[in-house]
Structure 1
Amino acid sequence: MNNISLLGRLVKDPELRRTQQGTAAARFTVAVDRGLSKEKRQQAEANNQPTADFINCIAWGKAAELISNYFSKGSRIGIVGRIQTGSYEKNGQRIYTTDVVVNSISFIDSKSESNNNFSNTNNTNNTQDDFENPGFFPIDNNDIPF
């Protein structure tokens, strides 16, 4: 089974392109925190070691257009997809690639929360505390126009 779920932040704005047939394709990189303990994180940072992984992703069609229109550098995003490997030749050398091909996405922050660096999540398992946080309000997924 080839299935992956990611939750992270976009490293830069997505790049939207179109194939010759007109299909939208968006490439982007997601920074995913490694979930280190406080001690391990401090140790890694002190030794200039990474505390996040930077994962290359590609989305096609409507998902690509949605990501390009509604996500930007720093936006939090949830992704479900599959890993795809490939290779190509450049200057006589074989280059190997690993990408996540996006099957579905989740909005984690609203536009205003992303701009204000809030980190509330929008899920259906809300607690009473979630409703008391500024900027959070429940939403019915059937009200979303896409």
Structure 2
Amino acid sequence: MNKAILIGRLTRDIDLKYTQGGMAIGRFTLAINRKMTREKKQEAERNNQPTADFIGCIAFGKTAETLSNYVGKGNQIGIEGHIQTGSYENKEGQRVYTTDVIVDGFTFIDSKNKNGGDSEVQDESYDGFYPTDNDDIPF
């Protein structure tokens, strides 16, 4: 079984390109915090050790276009996919090995607008619920 489920923040906007046949390909990197105590995290930061992993992801077709249109740098998303490895020869003739997560599905988790506020919540006073009049209820 090859299944990956990740929750993280985009490190930059999705790089969306199209093949000659018109297929969309979106490449992005998710920053995923490592699970550690506050003390261990502070110690790692003091010693210039990583506190997050950076996972390369690839989405295809409508999935790639939707992600590119609705998420960007700093947004938090959940993805479901599978791991794919590969290799290629670089310009210097050296073999480079790759590991990516191929996105099969996704979930929007957190969307921040440019002002730092939550772009999904228009009016925080209702917290997702809106008042209704009892006359509007059909039963």
TM-score under structure 1 length normalisation:
0.78
Asked which structure has the greater CA Rg, the reply is: 2
Q: Which residue of 1 aligns with 2:59?
A: 59
Structure 1: which 5+ runs fail to align?
A: 119-132, 139-146
Structure 2 match to 1:24: 24
Write out aligned runs for 1:72-83 (5 A): 72-83=72-83
Q: CA deviation at 1:51?
A: 0.3
> Shift of residue 71 of structure 1?
0.6
Give the match for residue 33 of structure 1: 33
TM-score w.r.t. length of structure 2: 0.82
Matched residue, 1:86: 86
Distance 2:78 2:56 in 1: 14
Per the TM alignment, residue 92 of structure 1 is displaced from its structure 2 partner at its CA by 1.1
Q: State the secondary structure of the residue aligned to 2:62.
A: helix
How many angstroms apart in 2 are the aligned matches of 1:111 and 1:38?
Answer: 25
**Aligned counterparts of 1:76 and 1:88: Cα–Cα separation in 2:** 30
What is the SS of the residue equivalent to 1:73? coil
| Local SS of the residue matching 1:79 | strand
Equivalent residue pairs, number: 124
| Post-superposition offset of 1:134 | 6.5
Q: Which residue of structure 1 lines up, in the alignment, with residue 3 of structure 2? A: 3
Q: Distance in 1 between matches of 2:127 and 2:13?
A: 25
Aligned-partner Cα distance in 1 for 2:115–2:8: 16
Number of the residue aligned with 1:15: 15
- Distance in 1, Cα, partners of 2:32 & 2:125: 25
Assess, with a 3 A threshold, how the Cα gap between structure 1 residues 134 and 85 changes in structure 2: closer, same or farther.
farther
Please say if 1:137 is aligned against 2:131: no
Alpha-carbon distance between aligned partners in 1 of 2:84 and 2:126, rounded to the nearest angstrom: 37
CA distance in 2, matches of 1:135, 1:63: 31
* 1:99 and 2:100 matched: yes
- 1:137 positional shift: 2.1
Q: Distance in 2 between matches of 1:61 and 1:135?
A: 36
